[in-house]
Amino acid sequence: MTRRLTLTFDNGPVPGITETVLDVLRERGLTATFFVVGTDLQKPGRRDLVAQARAEGHRVGNHTMTHSVLLGRTDDPAAPEKEIVASQHLLRDLASEERFFRPWGGGGVLGPHLLSPRAVQTLERGGYSLVLWNSVPRDWEDAIGWPARARADIDRQGWTVIVLHDNSPAVAQLAGFLDAVIADGVEIRSDFPDECVPIRRGVRTGSLDGLVSV
């Protein structure tokens, strides 16, 4: 079985860290998807880094406006507008043509806290692609040990969509991790498996069971 890996990076860009990620990817001819938080994009130097990522062939998605609202748990009916639409507006021309959106998972956990019915409607009406994941090696907690957990995920499934973070010193392990998986014959791709994208361009293409609050 050919194992596949798609690289995604959340919560950046951060000056002094994202440049390292871009260098490592460029040196290996790899591309990734960067999921950007709207409020972070407004900080000095951040927009230029996202523009650099786009210029180097990477994809850029929306990772909510504030990274603080679980859309499936909030009582605010305007939350999808504030967290999804407002962030997409800030991204403007930096966003990829396909409107990639990744909800905040509160630690990378999948569950009904991710989305509300209203949030799903916002994604469908706005033509978004909902991008989930199946590997969270918790690099923000363990800057040294995360590659071992990531390798375990890659070994147990055919196509891994990994969540890493370009706002953490854990990126110091990225080059070695990538070199090891490449040497092991893992195919690194830029696209996503169908099971991790249950909404594509506003059309529901997979199951949302267990991902939407009642």
54-83 pLDDT per residue, tens? 999 999 999 999 999 999 999 999 999 999
Domain spans, the chain:
4-204
Respond yes or no: is residue 10 known to be catalytic. yes
Q: Which residues contact 151 (CB under 8 A, 6 or more apart)?
A: 177, 180, 181
Single out the catalytic residue among 10, 40, 139, 166: 10
- Mean of the per-residue pLDDT values of the chain: 97
Single out the catalytic residue among 58, 67, 113, 165: 165
Assign 1 a pLDDT band (cuts: 50, 70, 90).
Answer: confident
Q: Which CATH architecture has domain 4-204?
A: Alpha-Beta Barrel (3.20)
Q: Counting beta carbons within 10 angstroms of the beta carbon of residue 102, is it exposed (0 to 12), middle (13 to 18) or buried (19 or more)?
A: buried
pLDDT in tens, 72-128: 999 999 999 999 999 999 999 999 999 999 999 999 999 999 999 999 999 999 999
Respond yes or no: is residue 165 known to be catalytic. yes
Tokens of 128: 């978004």
* pLDDT (0 to 100) of residue 19: 97
Average pLDDT over residues 194-200: 98
Output the CA torsion sign for 197, 202, 205, 210: positive
Output the CA torsion sign for 13, 14, 17, 20: positive
Best CA proximity match to 114, nearest among 124, 106, 125, 126: 106
Output the CA torsion sign for 190, 134, 212, 209: positive
pLDDT in tens, 44-56: 999 999 999 999 9
